[in-house]
Amino acid sequence: MSMWILLEALIKIFVIIGGLMTAAAYLVLLERRVAAWIQDRRGPNRVGIPLTNIRIFGLGQPIADGVKFIFKEEFIPGHVNRWLYVLAPSAMFVAAIVLFAAVPFGAVDLGIEGWEPIALVVMPGLDVGIVYIFAVGSIAVYGVVLGSWASNNKYAFFGGMRSAAQLISYEIPLGLGILGVVLASGSLRLDEIVQSQAETGVWNVFTQPLGFLVFLVAAFAEAGRLPFDLAETEQELVGGYHTEYSGIKLMMFLVAEYLHMVAASFLIVLLFFGGWHFWGLTGSEPVAGIGVALLRVVVLLAKFMLVVLFFMVARWSWPRFRFDQLMSLAWKVMLPLGLVNLVGLAFWIEYGRPRFSGANEWIVMAIGGWVLLVASWLVTTLLVPAASDNRPRLGPAAADLDTKEAASP
């Protein structure tokens, strides 16, 4: 039996790693096509699949890019710290891969007598799944800081410091957004959070819209996606913390960044959009037969793709924040809103939920969640007046110098 357990674990690991690498490659192609569509131009459409004449949508482009990265010359600048320089991309890449060991895809009953249901997750029965994801995901900041410090380059160092401050700051509202879901479901296990949404038929996005908004913004920042890619900012920092990297090391950094977006998308679906659940289609039982289990995986992946498309469209729709705006948003807006959502939900569970039962409980909870969202928006609008120019004000001497420079021919 132990051999079968080991074989099952190895198959799951192989499927996860192979699926993630393939997804990262072809999601890059999808994003380039989406960018081309938004910017009214042609994206990659020439490179075909090797040994074939298939050139639909440039399906061979990710293969060509990967081969180019792999066979590029491994150049290490002489001024870097070699050990840390090599360690940084490896640490970030491994952390991005290991994170997915706790992402559940449901459970399947093969219908064979004597066989227990198979949990479609690498680490089944992990009681602290969310804590594990937080712990492993936070290792990414070490890869960024190590890479920037080891590069011995001022632009890389600035990018690393920005990224460290950004990731540490936005982990707080990210955690507050998750705590609301944990409080409502009473579990830290992702599969039980999905199961609680399936049993009630009410997804958390309907009952906790404010928590969803806080988590979504924080997830954008944690993934380093526009408009929060202050760690790279090509116009300011050349390439940010991986300026001195090339070849396979640069590819490890880029793939790890993309996998963080993939992980954020999966978490959004699992925590707020019911995971594999869909009304009247997937049922609500914890374990399903082969057909329903496959359908649940398809539903989960479809929701995941919709969230990924939102990430991609957002990248080409909003301008980049300034760094002071980024940090102000975390500490002055997202953190208070996350606390408001958590306190409001705790008050409801303690005093409101015992007064209602059945469908009325979720209707009242959803109404309260949306009222809390609107009230928070109104209060925020009143307390933070709009300003056309919120740049730091110059002192008298600097202002005078600035005026003279502007007036000079």
**Contact between residue 80 and residue 150 where contact means Cβ atoms under 8 Å apart:** yes
Average predicted confidence (pLDDT) for the chain: 83
d(C-alpha 112, C-alpha 134), whole Å: 36
d(C-alpha 330, C-alpha 342), whole Å: 16
Residue type, 176: L
- Residues 294-339: pLDDT tens digits? 999 999 999 999 999 999 998 888 888 888 888 888 998 899 999 9
The fraction of the chain above a pLDDT of 70, given in percent, is 89
Query: 334, exposed or middle or buried, with CB in 10 Å at 0-12, 13-18, 19+?
Result: buried
pLDDT of residue 95: 87
Task: Return the domain boundaries, the chain.
Answer: 1-67, 72-385
DSSP state of 288: B
Q: Is the pLDDT of residue 204 over 90?
A: yes
d(C-alpha 180, C-alpha 174), whole Å: 11
